[in-house]
Chain A
Amino acid sequence: MKKIIALILVVVMSVLALAACGGEKDAIVMATNAEFPPYEYFEDEVIVGIDAEIAKAIADKIGAELTIEHVDFDSIIPGVQSGKYDFAMAGLTVTDERKELVDFTTSYATGVQVVIVKEDSAITSVDDLFAEGADHKIGVQLATTGDLYCTWDIEDEGLGTIERYNKGADAVMALVSDKVDCVVIDNEPAKVFVENNPGLKILDTEYITEDYAIAIAKENTELMTKVETALTELIADGTVQTIIDKYIPADAE
């Protein structure tokens, strides 16, 4: 019995010891939702993409060890706010609501919200969604800007219902199996989704244009200054543009 108790104690202690190791000094933790190609996605069990590379470049500049955590998109901002993660890069759009919760750096990329429909869909332009008497089922990823805008513009106006999925890919799969009429999502992942699912297309008119930036907790002004300086330098010397061009070929737009 004593041996068993000793064993239990050892296990509990080692877990606590592991927990204590979490807070080493020069390590910074970035939160992202790696289901957002080409900004962040898994390749060979590693998170890669535009945000991952820019984050790496920033970490190198400020001399910190970077870890990237894959979390649900709706957990990112609460996690940054509570200090679970040092900063977040996840194709995060700057909005007034989010600004009240976290601080944002300078924007490093622009995103466009687009509408994916089936090729034979009755929806031919974004305006169809706002037309009087419209009643569409719209798929979005939970807590993304697509979700926010559709909620304000469409659901609150009684012009349709919003289906919120945990992943963008789930929303697209729902579209393929006719559970929703269209999906509102960022342009770059939308292109990848359409490429992988024959029979889908992106509407020519865009839903809205927005700015992506890095989110950092309001109290963490020290890190904010460092990241902001590093990011500004990386934008100025063209590193950021090189990374973006690498993932998004210029002729695609």
Chain B
Amino acid sequence: MNWFNTLAEQIKNTFSDLYTNISEFVIDLARQFEIAFIVDDRWKYIVSGIGSTLLLTFLSLILGVVIGIIIAAIRATHDKQIDEMHPGIGKSLLKFANGFCRCYLTIFRGTPVMVQILIIFFVIMASSRNKMLCGVIAFGLNSAAYVAEIIRGGIMSIDPGQTEAGRSLGLSYVQTMAYIVLPQAFKNILPSLANEFITLLKETSIAGYVGVTDITRGANIIRGITYQSFWPLFAIAAIYLGMVMFFTWLVDLLERRFKNSER
């Protein structure tokens, strides 16, 4: 039985080593946690950043939706109407506006938002001192490009028969849009729009590059003071994840309600 005792002893030692290592590791993490967040109330750097992150996301989305609607209206009208229009100033104007919008979409969807925000902050709005405004404009313009395509997709997804029916009933193009197409399109658009909001929320993490003190910036400040990365980075990862899960839940709720209304 000697071999058995030796083996048992070894297993015990291994486990007690493992236990000591794990408990040391946990104690170490707890100590690091204290240094990262508790000492000098450093958690405030991150918490005060949550407001900036949300404000930046909301304002950017509002700007994005406003510009996005304009672009989508031009693009959808062009796609649906251009063949029926008589040659004239109206038609050339619409063609020009559509071309401009397509350029806009190509540029803003074809370059990284990181580069766009740097260009806005350091070149286009070089003399502006309001970094939040620069952030809102950069993310808003970028988001507008995506929102425009979401809205246009929603409008185009409605069967052309609906428009034809509306027009046959004597409604004008604008009336058909407002009373028949848009209410139906809205249902397709809203969930994608909410997803765009979630994407935007995550993208704002680069706003720190122009000095906006969002939560990523807050974590970086803590990393600068404490020389450790573990807790600050995992903490903000958890906060982003928590926010995204919350908004995803809201979107799901919204989608379910729309589904119910179909019956």
Contact = CB atoms under 8 A, between A and B. Distances in A.
A84 B227 contact: no
B197 interface: no
A213 to B, nearest CB: 23
Contact of B130 (A18, A75, A167): A18
* Residue of B122, B209, B213, B224 ringed by the most chain A CB atoms within 10 A: B224
A8 B136 CA distance: 14
Given A11-B59, A44-B40, A44-B41, A22 B127 contact: no
Given A11-B59, A167-B220, A41 B225 contact: yes
Contacts of A69: 211
Interface of B: 40-41, 44-45, 48, 59, 62-63, 66, 122, 126-130, 132-133, 136, 209-211, 213, 220-221, 223-225, 227, 229
Contacts of B63: 12
Contacts of B213: 70
B62 A12 contact: yes
A130 interface: no
A22 B129 contact: yes
B229 A173 contact: yes
Interface string A51-65: 000000000000000
Contacts of B45: 42, 45
A167 B223 contact: yes
B225 A42 contact: yes
Contacts of B221: 34-35, 42, 70
12 contacts: A12-B63, A18-B130, A22-B129, A35-B221, A44-B41, A70-B221, A84-B128, A84-B129, A167-B220, A169-B223, A169-B224, A172-B227
B136 A23 contact: no
A83 B220 CA distance: 26
Contact of A71 (B62, B127, B211): B211
Contacts of A15: 59, 133, 136
Contacts of B225: 41-42
Interface in A180-229: 193, 196-197
A34 B225 CA distance: 9
Given A70-B211, A169-B224, 17 more contacts: A8-B62, A19-B133, A29-B129, A34-B221, A34-B224, A35-B221, A45-B45, A71-B210, A72-B209, A72-B211, A75-B210, A78-B122, A82-B122, A84-B126, A84-B127, A169-B227, A197-B227
Contact of B126 (A82, A169, A196): A82
A169 B45 CA distance: 17
Given A15-B136, A75-B211, A193 B122 contact: no
